[in-house]
A and B are shown apart, each in its own frame.
Chain A
Amino acid sequence: MKTCLKLITILSVFPLLTGCWDQKLILNSEVINGISFDLKDNKIKSTIVVLQIIPKGSGYFDFNNQLSSATGDSLDDTFSELRMYHRGPLSASKSRIILFGESFAKKNLNSYLDLFYRNPDPYLGSKVAIVKGLEASKIFSFKEIGTDPIAFGLYEIIDAAEENSTIPEGNLNTLFSLFNEAGKDFILPVLEQKGDGILVSGAGLISQNAYSGKMIQLNNCSLLLLLMDNYEKKVDLLTYLSEEKKLNNQVSYRITKAKRKINIQKDAFHKPVVNLKLDLEVGLKQYPKTSNITPKQLKKLQTTISNDLTKRSNHIMKTTQKANSDVLGIGQRIKETDPGTWQSLDWKETYPSIKINTHVNVKIVKTGIIK
């Protein structure tokens, strides 16, 4: 009797444990690798790329990107049409990349992307980028980057740009925590087509969850990251030795140590004044002449670089103010340290007009393996 009861229990439990209600066979589902959103005639155009593997026998296989587009009034509206192009249920659980066309990015991204955060299925490790100069969906018509299928290739080039400290590390998940942060904006990578290739061409400044249309050019991106105090191990910068002669007259250096200090004071009208000080220790990578650099020259070089970087960082801060994108989180800092002042300020109005003084101080500590 007892064994019989046990047996019945086990037999009735087994079918439950398999969870047959929720089985989703990979064989049937179509895995989205990349998604792009554009805005066209006041409608959203979504394009998805689904990787189709074509087996060619004995371990060889080829792939094909199946592209499909749909327009609609909301993201899910477009997805319901997109489903009709595919053989099985679409799954966004492995999407590598999400692209925004410029016009789409200028909308309030947070509210548009709600779908990704409200449902537990979508993968939040996808890289996010803005596409400049062409429709985002056109990027997917490139078949591959190197040997990687397009969606994977885009993921890789953005990942590489993050490692080079061109853009801060980020994905769909970090985006969620960046949205709506009081007193802080953020930047997103901008992709552009140049000739037959696609490259990360800079950092787009986001203001109030929407792309401001202004971006920081590639040569200044790393400096911005240093100012934001959000960089990876490898940070390289370039400086012209003189304004007149440009050809082969640049010194390049890698930052070995960076220290940022932000000091916020108030002026007579209770407006914040920001003093930003950046102390860098650098090692030389390239010098226009392969010759001995004397200590005197080195000192002069330090001043040249310091002045150049100070000028450039002032320019960067001006650009962020023009874009009304407080990427350094100065507002957040005021909110944390001086809640009273924060309450009295309308930060959206204040940020573009506050005074930000930046000063960069460079010390050359290494000259490479030759003196």
Chain B
Amino acid sequence: MLTNKNLFFLIIQAQIGIGILGLPYILYNDVHQDSWISFLIAGILAQGVIIVLVALSKVSPKNTLYELNLKLLGNFFGKTLNFMYILYFIAVSMLLILLVTDVINTWILHQTPRWAIILLLLLASSYIAKEHLLTISKTFLFFSILFIVLIFLLILVYSKADLTVGRLLPIGASGFLPILKASPDAFVSLIGFEFILFIMPFLKEPNKSLKVISLANIFTVSLYLFLIITCIIYFSSAQFSLVQQPLLYLFRGLSFEFVERIDIIFLSFWLVPISTTLVIQLFNASLGVQNLFSIQRKTSVYLIAFLLFGIGLFPVSPSLKESLSSLMTYLNIIFVFFIPILLLIISKIRVKKI
């Protein structure tokens, strides 16, 4: 049974991952110094979605979403939706793997073939994902020490670099509508709380879950906000529109008496929070496979990992990767936002009928 502490760390590990490396860049190119406002809006939106998701999982707290779908929609539609969810999680994992290998290939290991990186990533992730949820959460708790490292490094940036707070001004220059339009990009990077739909039955105190997840969301949002504001006041406008991984570039400039190139050291460690996101996607997908095809979860984790490895071998052009990314933005919003809302409405109607 998961305690509140376990749940908290599961959610933040699910939320924070690869997105943190590139998000400030994406937002900055849309709305410049107002990125943080966009992000704040996305954070509030995420909070709304969390309320919906918790309400949905409380419809029947003893069931995961997969079981709930079958109950609500009947056998055929339920199974179809479950299958779509599995595909969605596999697609999310796939994109994640693509992005990670890309970052590693450009920043650290230029010669290493993609299959080697994917293989190592999948082996480590599926090794954790096959375990029981409690084991996963305890591992994540340990990994969360890396967030402290990140915060510490960000504070070091303040002590070392020449920052211009004025770069945040003028506030709101981009106009309200563009700021609002940029927030879906930010929202996507906050995704991860949908995990609650699948772990509600394993919670010790399901009643407190809303509070815990909200806290986790607040933590993530404030970490991101801190990062985005640091980036805005650190980079000049011309530079910010160029650096694709602002977080790494931020650390690239840091150097100390004995340690240099913090960016490379940081990226090597940051692979852990990235793979925890992958672990959660694998867990979600394998739970669905277990439910749909009655295969043991452990086996299904390996099956999915194998499938991902197979897809990962296909060469991907940068333009394809970009269109996949933008496609995923929509898919994320559909699967995390729209479908749960629909399901919630259906459940309310059904309860009345009964």
| A-to-B contact residues, CB < 8 Å | 9, 13, 16-17, 19, 21-22, 93, 117, 120, 123-125, 168-169, 171, 173-174, 176-182, 230, 329, 332-333, 336-337, 339
List the B residue with the shortest CB-CB distance to A15.
B116
Residues of A within 8 A of B162 (CB): 168-169, 174, 177, 230
Q: How far is the CB of A297 from chain B (nearest CB, A)?
A: 40
Pair A179/B236 contact, Cβ less than 8 Å: yes
Q: How many residues of B contact A (CB 8 A)?
A: 34
Pair B111/A177 contact, Cβ less than 8 Å: no
Pair A16/B236 contact, Cβ less than 8 Å: no
Residues of A within 8 A of B261 (CB): 93, 123
Q: How far is the CB of A259 from chain B (nearest CB, A)?
A: 17
Our pick among A21, A117, A337 for the contact of B111 (Cβ within 8 Å) is A21
B113: CB under 8 A from chain A? yes
B123: CB under 8 A from chain A? yes
Residues of B within 8 A of A93 (CB): 261
Pair B173/A339 contact, Cβ less than 8 Å: yes
Residues of B within 8 A of A182 (CB): 237-238
Residues of A within 8 A of B238 (CB): 179-182
User: Which residues, 229 to 279 on B, are CB-close (under 8 Å) to A?
Assistant: 234-239, 242, 252-253, 255, 260-261, 263-264
B112: CB under 8 A from chain A? yes
Our pick among B111, B120, B235, B260 for the contact of A22 (Cβ within 8 Å) is B111
B107: CB under 8 A from chain A? yes
Most chain B Cβ neighbours within 10 Å, of A19, A169, A230: A19
Pair B239/A9 contact, Cβ less than 8 Å: no
Q: How far is the CB of A14 from chain B (nearest CB, A)?
A: 11
Pair A17/B239 contact, Cβ less than 8 Å: no
- Bound Cα distance A124, B250 (Å): 11
Can you list 29 A-B contacts with CB-CB less than 8 angstroms, sorted by A residue number? A16-B119, A17-B120, A21-B112, A21-B116, A93-B261, A117-B242, A120-B106, A120-B108, A120-B252, A120-B263, A120-B264, A123-B260, A125-B253, A168-B162, A171-B253, A174-B161, A174-B253, A177-B236, A178-B236, A179-B236, A179-B238, A180-B238, A230-B162, A329-B164, A332-B164, A332-B166, A336-B167, A337-B170, A339-B170
Residues of B within 8 A of A337 (CB): 169-170
Residues of A within 8 A of B260 (CB): 123, 125
- Bound Cα distance A174, B234 (Å): 10
B321: CB under 8 A from chain A? no
Residues of A within 8 A of B109 (CB): 19, 21-22
Question: 1/0 per position for B99-140, CB-CB distance to A under 8 A?
Answer: 000000011111111001001100100000000000000000
Contacts A22-B111, A336-B166, A336-B169 given; does A176 touch B116 at CB 8 Å: no
Residues of B within 8 A of A339 (CB): 170, 173
The 4 closest A-B pairs by CB, nearest first: A180-B238, A173-B253, A336-B169, A21-B111
Determine the main DSSP class of B at the interface with A: loop
List the B residue with the shortest CB-CB distance to A336.
B169
List the A residue with the shortest CB-CB distance to B260.
A125
Pair A180/B119 contact, Cβ less than 8 Å: no
- Bound Cα distance A317, B60 (Å): 73
Q: How far is the CB of B136 from chain A (nearest CB, A)?
A: 20
Q: How far is the CB of B248 from chain A (nearest CB, A)?
A: 8
User: Which residues, 160 to 178 on B, are CB-close (under 8 Å) to A?
Assistant: 161-162, 164, 166-167, 169-170, 173
Pair B169/A181 contact, Cβ less than 8 Å: no
- Bound Cα distance A21, B116 (Å): 10
- Bound Cα distance A169, B255 (Å): 13
Pair B111/A16 contact, Cβ less than 8 Å: no
Most chain A Cβ neighbours within 10 Å, of B110, B161, B238, B255: B238
Residues of B within 8 A of A17 (CB): 120
Q: A13-B120, A19-B109, A176-B239 are in contact. List 5 more A-B contacts (CB 8 A).
A: A171-B253, A174-B161, A174-B162, A182-B237, A332-B164
- Bound Cα distance A339, B171 (Å): 11
- Bound Cα distance A333, B166 (Å): 8
Q: How far is the CB of A29 from chain B (nearest CB, A)?
A: 14
Pair A124/B169 contact, Cβ less than 8 Å: no
- Bound Cα distance A53, B166 (Å): 47
- Bound Cα distance A230, B163 (Å): 11
- Bound Cα distance A21, B104 (Å): 13
Q: How far is the CB of B179 from chain A (nearest CB, A)?
A: 16
List the A residue with the shortest CB-CB distance to B111.
A21
List the B residue with the shortest CB-CB distance to A342.
B170
Q: How far is the CB of B166 from chain A (nearest CB, A)?
A: 5
Our pick among B113, B123, B161, B173 for the contact of A13 (Cβ within 8 Å) is B123
Question: 1/0 per position for B214-240, CB-CB distance to A under 8 A?
Answer: 000000000000000000001111110
Pair A179/B239 contact, Cβ less than 8 Å: yes
